[in-house]
Amino acid sequence: MSKEIVSVDNLTKIYPGGVKGADGVTFTVRKGEVFGLIGPNGAGKTTVLRIIATILQPSSGKVTVAGYDVVKEADMVRKMISYLPEDAGAYKYLTGLEFMKFIARLYSFKESDIEKIVREGIQVSGLGERLKDKIKSYSKGMLRRLLVARTLMVNPMLAILDEPTSGLDVINAMQIRNTIKSYTRERGVTILMSSHNMLEVEYLCDRIGIIYRGRMLAIGEPRELKELYGAQNLEEVFVKLIESASY
Amino acid sequence: MDMFWVFVEKELKSIVRDPKIVIAMFIVPLIIIIIFYAIVGHGIQQQIAQAVKESGTVAVIDLDNDIHSRNFISFLRQLGVDVRLLDENLHTNISKALEVSGTKILYIIPMGFSKNITNFSITSIKIYVKLGSLTIGESGIIDLATRLVERFNENITITIASEKGIPAEFIKNAIVRRPYAVIYNRVIENPYALSTLLSLSSFFIPLIVLMLIMLASQLIVTSIAVEKEEKMFETLLSLPINRMNIISAKLFVSISISVVYMIIYGLALFGYIFQILGIGIDVGSLEMPQMLSLLILQKDLAISLILNTIGLAIFMLMISLILGVFAEDVRTAQALIGNIMGPLVLLAYMPMFVDISGANQLQRMLLSLIPIANTVFIPKLAIVNDLTSMYMAALSNIIYGIILFLFIQRIVNSETIFTMKLKRLKKQKIGET
C-alpha cells in the first residue's frame, strides 16, 4: 500500500475568466487504495479529476499517474486509467452488450482479451439479459451500473469515478457501492472517486481529501479525521473544516 | 480490429438506428436541395429567357445575295427576328462584324448557296455566336442560332420538294450548319463542346461536389454533436485512443454515405436542369449538345478543377468539423451548419452568372482566392487564358483546408475541444439580434 499511483503537487487550474478550479491542491493516491475527494458543489473535485483524466490541463503544478505526467505523457496516462464522468452517458442506440464490446475493442485487438473484458463487464454490471436491450430503454440506475461496469471491466491501474452514485435511488446506489467495494478487494484496483455522500465515502474509502474552493483542507483516513477534529462522523468533520475555511 | 474501424462500425450502427441522424441524412439535405435546385433553376430560366431575348437580333453577311439567301433572311424576319445586314467585306473579320452589328449571332451565307440548293447539292451556313459572360445561359444562344438554320432547312426542304415533286428525304440535309463560338476575339470550333465544358466544369461539377459537401457536413456535425448529447464526449477524451481516429471515422462514414446520396441527387439534378434548358425556346424540339464528358477538358483545366474540388471538399468538411466539435448539442450543430451553408451556397451560385472578361489581372487573382466561388471561376479563367489565377484557384482551397486541419488537430489534442462551446455564442447572437 505504499507505492503512489497518483501524485498531485501544488495543482492550480485557472479557467478563462479567472475562476480558480483548483488552488494549490496537493495529495497522493496509493496503490490499491480507494481515495475519496469530498467537498460541496463547485469545490473543485471534478476539475481535479478531469486533470488527472487528461481532459483538462493544469495552469500550474505537476500531476502524475504511475509516474507519467498527465500533460507531457497523456497518451501513457490514458492507458493506465479508466474514467467515469459524473454526467456520463452511453450510445443509446447500441445495446448494453454492443457498448461493452465497443469499449473493449478500444483496449485490445485480441479477440480473446475482448471476450474476457466483456465477460467481466457482464458480471460487474449485473444486468443479465437486459444487456441485450438498447441502452435507451435503461433506467438511470441501470445506465449507471453499465457505466461503472464499463469503467472497471478493463481492469485499469487507476479507476477515476466522479460521483458514481449521484442522483440514484438507495437500492441502485447501494448496488454500485457494493460493486466498487468488491471489485477493489478482488482486483486490487486503485480508485480515486468524488462524492457528496459522507456515508458512501466512509463505507468505500481508505483515505479521503476534503476540498473546498479549490483548496485541499484535510487529508487522512476517515477514522483519523474524526479523531483529529473531535467529530462523531465525517459530516461533522466536513462542516467544521468548511466553517473554519470560510472565516 | 483497428480502432478506426471500431468507430466506423459504431458510427454505422448509430446512423442506422438514430432518428436524429436519419433527419440529418434525409430530411435536412432534401429541404436544402429542393430550395437550392429551385433557385438555380430560376436563375437558369432567367438566363435562357435573356439569351432568347438577345437572340432576337442577328447579323447576316450575305455573300450569295441570291434567291435562297434572301429567303433565309425573310424566313428569319417572319419568325420575328430582327436581321441586320452587314457589309460583305466584314466576313474576313468576324470579331469586328459582331462588334459593328452589336448582336450575339452572325450568319455568313456563302457564295453559291442558292445555286447549290437549286442543284440539290449540299451547302452550308456559318453560324458565329459571341460568348462573353461564359454563363450557362449562353449555351442557349448557340442552340437557338443553330436551331434557326435547322428550321430554315426543314422549311426549304418541304418547299422545294413540293415544287419539284420529289420526296423530301432526297434533299433533307441540304444546308449544313457550321457553328463557331467567338470568345474574346478568338474563334473556336465546336461550340457545343465548349458549351458542354462550361456546363460541366462551371456548373454541374461544382454543384454536385457542393451537394456532396452539404450532405457530408450535415452528417459530420450531427454525428459529433451526438457524442456530446449522449454524454460520451468526456469519456471518449479519456480513452487510450488517437482522438483523430474518432474524427476520421466520422469523416469516412459521412463522406461514404454522401457519395451515394450525391449520385442519386446528382442524377435528379441532371434531369431537372435539362428539363429547364428546354424551356423558353420555341423553335422546335431541343437537341441537347452531346455530353462529351471530361474528355474535352484540357489537361491543365482538368487538373486544376480536380485539385480545386478536392480542396473545396477538404475546406468545407474542416469547417463542419470545427462547428461539430464546438457545438454543444445536435440542434445547435444543425442550426450552425444551416446558417453557414446558406451564404456558402450563394458563394457557389453567384459566380455562375458573373462575367469576368472585363476584370483585370489583380481582380481575377483576388477572385481566384475566394473559396467555393473559385471552383466556378476556374473554367472562366481558363478561357480568358489567365493560367496564374487558375492555378491559384486550384491550390488555394487545399491550402485553406490544410490550415483548418492543422487547427483542428491542435484543438482536438488540447482541452479546448472540451471547454469551448458554441451554444453560448449562439444564444448571445440571438439576443443581440
Question: Cell digits for B151?
Answer: 428550321
Which of chain A's residues have a Cβ under 8 Å away from the Cβ of B239? 78, 103, 106
**Among B61-70, B296-305, B404-413, which is the least confidently predicted range?**
B296-305
Q: Specify the pLDDT at position B428.
A: 45
Q: Does the pLDDT at position B291 exceed 50?
A: no
Q: Do B13 and A56 touch (CB under 8 A)?
A: no
- Nearest chain B residue to A80 by CA distance is B240
Of B3, B13, B240, the CB nearest to A94: B13
Q: Does the pLDDT at position B425 exceed 50?
A: no
pLDDT in tens, B242-265: 888 889 998 898 888 888 877 777
Segment B187-202 shows an average pLDDT of 69
CA distance B10 to B227: 12
CATH of the domain at B139: 3.40.1710.10
Query: Are residue B18 and residue B123 in the same domain, yes or no?
Result: no
Q: Do B234 and A85 touch (CB under 8 A)?
A: yes
More confident residue, B96 or A48: A48
Q: How far is the alpha carbon of B358 from chain A, nearest alpha carbon, in Å?
A: 51
Confidence grade of residue B296 (pLDDT, cut at 50, 70, 90): very low
- Domain hosting B221: range is 3-49+193-432
Of B212, B207, B404, B206, the closest CA to residue B304 belongs to B206
Element of type H or E holding B103: none
Q: Do A87 and B231 touch (CB under 8 A)?
A: yes
Query: Are residue B243 and residue B207 in the same domain, yes or no?
Result: yes
Q: Specify the pLDDT at position B196.
A: 64
- Nearest chain A residue to B245 by CA distance is A106
Residues of B with CB under 8 A from a CB of A: 1-3, 6, 9-10, 13-14, 17-18, 230-232, 234-235, 237-241, 414-415, 418-419
- How many other C-beta atoms can be found within 10 angstroms of the C-beta atom of residue B388? 12
Which of chain B's residues have a Cβ under 8 Å away from the Cβ of A57? 414-415
Q: Specify the pLDDT at position A8.
A: 96
Q: Which range, A78-87, B92-101, B148-157, is most confident?
A: A78-87
Substitution target in B20, B223, B232, B234 with the highest count of A β-carbons within 10 Å is: B234
Of A88, A91, A102, the CB nearest to B234: A88
Query: Are residue B223 and residue B169 in the same domain, yes or no?
Result: no
Q: Does the pLDDT at position B132 exceed 70?
A: no
- Nearest chain B residue to A151 by CA distance is B235
Q: How far is the alpha carbon of B408 from chain A, nearest alpha carbon, in Å?
A: 16
Query: Are residue B41 and residue B9 in the same domain, yes or no?
Result: yes
Q: How far is the alpha carbon of A239 from chain B, nearest alpha carbon, in Å?
A: 31
Q: Specify the pLDDT at position B292.
A: 35
- CA distances, B31 to each of A200, B93, B215, B218, B364 (Å): 53, 51, 11, 12, 34
Substitution target in A82, A91, A118 with the highest count of B β-carbons within 10 Å is: A91
Which of chain A's residues have a Cβ under 8 Å away from the Cβ of B6? 102, 105-106
- CA distances, A25 to each of A58, A219, B105, B153, B272 (Å): 11, 11, 83, 94, 67
Longest dimension (CA), chain A: 58
CA distance A52 to A8: 8
Residues 6 or more apart from B139 whose CB is under 8 A from it?
Answer: B195, B198, B199, B277, B289
Q: Specify the pLDDT at position B280.
A: 36
- Nearest chain B residue to A89 by CA distance is B231
Q: Specify the pLDDT at position B195.
A: 67
Q: Specify the pLDDT at position B430.
A: 42
- CA distances, B260 to each of A98, B254, B266, B269 (Å): 27, 10, 10, 14
Q: What is the mean pLDDT of chain B?
A: 79
More confident residue, B362 or B161: B362
Q: Which range, A96-105, B269-278, B331-340, is most confident?
A: A96-105
Of the three residues B166, B189, B212, the one that is the final residue of a domain is: B189
Query: In total, how many domains does chain B have?
Result: 2
The dihedral sign for the CA sequence B244, B245, B246, B251 = positive
- Nearest chain B residue to A71 by CA distance is B414
Q: Do B234 and A87 touch (CB under 8 A)?
A: yes
Q: Does the pLDDT at position B283 exceed 80?
A: no
Q: Specify the pLDDT at position B305.
A: 84
- Nearest chain A residue to B18 by CA distance is A93
Quick check: B16 and B223 in contact, CB under 8 A?
Answer: no
Query: Are residue B44 and residue B102 in the same domain, yes or no?
Result: no
Q: Which range, B67-76, B112-121, B189-198, B376-385, is most confident?
A: B67-76
Q: How far is the alpha carbon of B29 from chain A, nearest alpha carbon, in Å?
A: 23
Query: Are residue B115 and residue B44 in the same domain, yes or no?
Result: no
Segment B158-184 shows an average pLDDT of 78
Question: Cell digits for A95?
Answer: 445495446
Q: How many residues does chain B have?
A: 433
Of B2, B14, B234, the CB nearest to A55: B234
Question: Cell digits for B392?
Answer: 491559384
Quick check: A212 and A39 in contact, CB under 8 A?
Answer: yes
ipTM of the complex: 0.92
Strand order in the sheet with A4-14: A20-30, A4-14, A60-65, A68-69
Query: Are residue B249 and residue B378 in the same domain, yes or no?
Result: yes
Query: What 3-state DSSP class applies to A12?
Result: strand
Query: Are residue B42 and residue B56 in the same domain, yes or no?
Result: no
Of the three residues B189, B220, B240, the one that is the final residue of a domain is: B189
- Nearest chain B residue to A98 by CA distance is B10
Question: Cell digits for B369?
Answer: 482566392
Q: What is the mean pLDDT of chain A?
A: 92
Confidence grade of residue B200 (pLDDT, cut at 50, 70, 90): low
Q: Specify the pLDDT at position B239.
A: 94
Query: Are residue B384 and residue B301 in the same domain, yes or no?
Result: yes
Quick check: A34 and A180 in contact, CB under 8 A?
Answer: yes
Element of type H or E holding A208: strand A207-212
Please report, to the nearest 10 degrees, the dihedral formed by the alpha carbons of residues B234, B238, B243, B247 taken in order.
-30
Query: Are residue B18 and residue B96 in the same domain, yes or no?
Result: no
Confidence grade of residue B433 (pLDDT, cut at 50, 70, 90): very low
Q: How far is the alpha carbon of A52 from chain B, nearest alpha carbon, in Å?
A: 10
Q: Specify the pLDDT at position A2.
A: 55
Query: Are residue B37 and residue B174 in the same domain, yes or no?
Result: no
Which of chain B's residues have a Cβ under 8 Å away from the Cβ of A92? 230
Question: Cell digits for B287?
Answer: 437537341
pLDDT in tens, A107-166: 988 999 999 999 999 999 989 999 999 999 999 999 999 999 999 999 999 999 999 998
Q: Specify the pLDDT at position A74.
A: 94
Please report, to the nearest 10 degrees, the dihedral formed by the alpha carbons of residues B386, B305, B34, B323 taken in order.
-100
Strand order in the sheet with A215-220: A81-84, A158-162, A190-195, A34-38, A207-212, A215-220
Q: Specify the pLDDT at position B162.
A: 82
Quick check: B376 and B351 in contact, CB under 8 A?
Answer: yes
Which residue segments constitute the domains of chain A, with CATH numbers given?
A: 4-246 (3.40.50.300)
Of the three residues B140, B167, B189, the one that is the final residue of a domain is: B189
Conformational region of residue B93, where left means phi above 0, alpha means psi within -120 to 50, and beta covers everything else: beta
Which amino acid would we find at residue B231? K
Conformational region of residue B190, where left means phi above 0, alpha means psi within -120 to 50, and beta covers everything else: left
Q: Do A109 and B237 touch (CB under 8 A)?
A: no
Of A237, A49, B201, the closest CA to residue A58 belongs to A49
Query: Are residue B178 and residue B147 in the same domain, yes or no?
Result: yes
